[in-house]
Structure 1
Amino acid sequence: MTSGTHEAFGRVGIWSSALHASRRDDAGRKALVEAVAELEELKYGTLWIGGSPSPEDAAVVVAATRTITVATGIVSIWDHAAEEVAARIAAIDAQARGRFVLGLGVSHGPMVPQYAKPYSAMVAYLDALDAATPPLGSGHRVLAALGPKMLKLATDRALGAHPYLVTTEHTAEARDALGPDALLAPELSVVLDTDLDRARTTARDMLSMYLGLPNYTDNLLRLGFSESDFDGGGSVRLLDALFALGDADRVRDRTREYLDAGADHVALQVLTADEGGGGLPRSEWRELAGVFADEL
């Protein structure tokens, strides 16, 4: 994949941390394969394997699909050596025929014991991918970028950026930072529930973990939120800015707000009250596909 093929991502995709074959038994893997095959039939543009997947997780999803773009959202640079990733991705890409993209990120200090100088570590990792045999060049990767330095790196050394847990305002700022040509593919978390109090409870269940990670809270503070917005799992103002809450039409409208703000593609993460996004919400994916007929 090259910088001239952003259309291969489509306008709308699905992001799910449940697309990890390595975390499933045989029955679970079969369910995963059936789910991703259906997502391809529903005409979503890209499947994002969320939650720090491995290259092996990506290999299973690629093998279970034929035409849809598959991306990682994201592989942590601390978990996998660059040379090993480049070699494994070369094999995956041969099967994918150019429809696989490696999403990379620096993760978070509280989650990584060896975390240090994340920007410099990412630069070194990209250098190692470029120098690997075979190399994994900029046209095959995106970066999980939030702040200005990492967004600039995503422009210079990758297809573009895949920001997570961001607002439409951040999307507009990211587009300005990236310039007109780089890919901008933010994640947007979705709760399909017209009871907004209940939907916000589901959103808070997911958000509470992220409010303990400085990379996200620092970014939200830069966007004009205050520490008080983080109390109790997130203020209504914060939740309404970060999530799409309501029926499928509301999700469609919120997605279009991100596209209008400068996103090329929006990766939808569907959260459910019983699983917090950890399952395979196939009925919700079908429902959303119905309202995105003009986007898919």
Structure 2
Amino acid sequence: MNSDDPVPGVPSPPPRERGPVISLWGGGPWQDPARRAEAREAAAEVEELGYARLWLSGGFDPGLHPVFGDLLDATRELGVASGIVSVWAATPQELAEAWADLERRHPGRFLLGLGNSHAAVVEGSGGRYEKPYSRTVEHLDALGDAVPPQRLVLAALGPRMLRLARDRTRGAHPYFVPPAHTSLAREVVGASSWLAPEVAVVLDADPDRARAVAREHTRGYLALPNYADNLRRLGYGDDDLRDGGSDRLVDELVCWGEPATVAAGVARHVDAGADEVAVQVLTADPGRFPRAEWAQLAAALLPA
């Protein structure tokens, strides 16, 4: 069901010799309604720097968050993707209608990423987290042809969900994964399916400072069973998963150092089979847009 036809703003899997697509993954301030003008300016800067796409969480409010339309309005060609919209938070009808509106206004530029989230999040919002795989299949069935498969991706960690991403969508968007997972995911989805992992980075060469920033990121995710179980499948034990992660685990999950060192860490995912890498810049102040770091990374990661 995957299409190889080129779509503006949604690159097809490029030949390895041409290099990967490099995008940014944004959290923190992007969805703050009080900072929407600043977010639009930041998106325009991301486009000017040469990044291919901007990935943002879909949040947990009903429907598709309006930030996606705002950022598409603020840019000319930049791809925008949801990483991800929870299948527990938005109905297929809401997503189909929202996607059609964005497609009409900005043809080819929005990529819809779906995922089944986490039990703690869903149940904390009053829902019941039951049979998440089946829920995702039902969501895809209900979407039908309203969103073409090549414009749809799935958050996927385990083999079963990776195969679903391969069979029903353009491919997979794994989050919070080391290069070893990218290699495993490529084996599962095969050569033709699209693979776009998120990769966190810290631009700081001091080990203590860099790992302190990284652990502020890893600590919360390691408390979520989906991520912890995925890392256990890769051979990490309880000692690696406690207290924000062992140095060994943190260094595999978060690339840190000078820009050239970080670029080399990102390249490990490319070598492992990634078609696109969504780079998430972490800083000691998660409430700011890391514009200086984006520029430094663009010089190291993007072709001149």
TM-score normalised by length of structure 1: 0.93
Matched, 1:203 2:214: yes
The root-mean-square deviation of aligned C-alpha atoms, in Å, is: 1.7
In structure 2, the partner of 1:128 is: 142
1:27-85: CA deviations, max 9, x gaps? Answer: x1111111000100111011101363734221111111111111011111111111111
In structure 2, the partner of 1:288 is: 297
Tell me, yes or no, if the aligned pair for 1:52 and 1:73 is still in contact at 8 Å.
no
Matched, 1:95 2:105: yes
2 CA distance for matches of 1:105 and 1:19? 21
In structure 2, the partner of 1:60 is: 70
In structure 1, the partner of 2:11 is: 7
SS at match of 1:146: coil
SS at match of 2:242: helix
In structure 1, the partner of 2:50 is: 43
2 CA distance for matches of 1:120 and 1:137? 20
Deviation at 1:4, TM superposition (A): 3.4
Aligned 1:109-128 pairs, distance under 5 A = 109-113=119-123, 114-128=128-142
In structure 2, the partner of 1:188 is: 199
SS at match of 2:138: helix
Tell me, yes or no, if the aligned pair for 2:195 and 2:274 is still in contact at 8 Å.
yes
In structure 2, the partner of 1:170 is: 181
Tell me, yes or no, if the aligned pair for 2:55 and 2:81 is still in contact at 8 Å.
yes
Aligned 1:174-253 pairs, distance under 5 A = 174-253=185-264
SS at match of 2:11: helix
Distance 1:128 1:51, change over 3 A: closer
Tell me, yes or no, if the aligned pair for 1:185 and 1:267 is still in contact at 8 Å.
yes
Deviation at 1:136, TM superposition (A): 1.3
2 CA distance for matches of 1:92 and 1:18? 23
Deviation at 1:93, TM superposition (A): 1.3
Tell me, yes or no, if the aligned pair for 1:3 and 1:182 is still in contact at 8 Å.
no
- One-letter amino acid of the counterpart of residue 48, structure 1: W
Distance 1:279 1:8, change over 3 A: farther
5+ residue gaps, structure 2? 14-19
Tell me, yes or no, if the aligned pair for 2:53 and 2:78 is still in contact at 8 Å.
yes
Deviation at 1:2, TM superposition (A): 4.3
Deviation at 1:139, TM superposition (A): 1.6
1 CA distance for matches of 2:93 and 2:122? 20
Aligned 1:130-169 pairs, distance under 5 A = 130=144, 135-169=146-180
2 CA distance for matches of 1:31 and 1:143? 29
- One-letter amino acid of the counterpart of residue 97, structure 2: A
1:127-150: CA deviations, max 9, x gaps? Answer: 11116xxx1131211000000010
Matched, 1:31 2:32: no
Tell me, yes or no, if the aligned pair for 2:58 and 2:84 is still in contact at 8 Å.
yes
Tell me, yes or no, if the aligned pair for 2:25 and 2:56 is still in contact at 8 Å.
yes
5+ residue gaps, structure 1? none
1 CA distance for matches of 2:224 and 2:103? 33
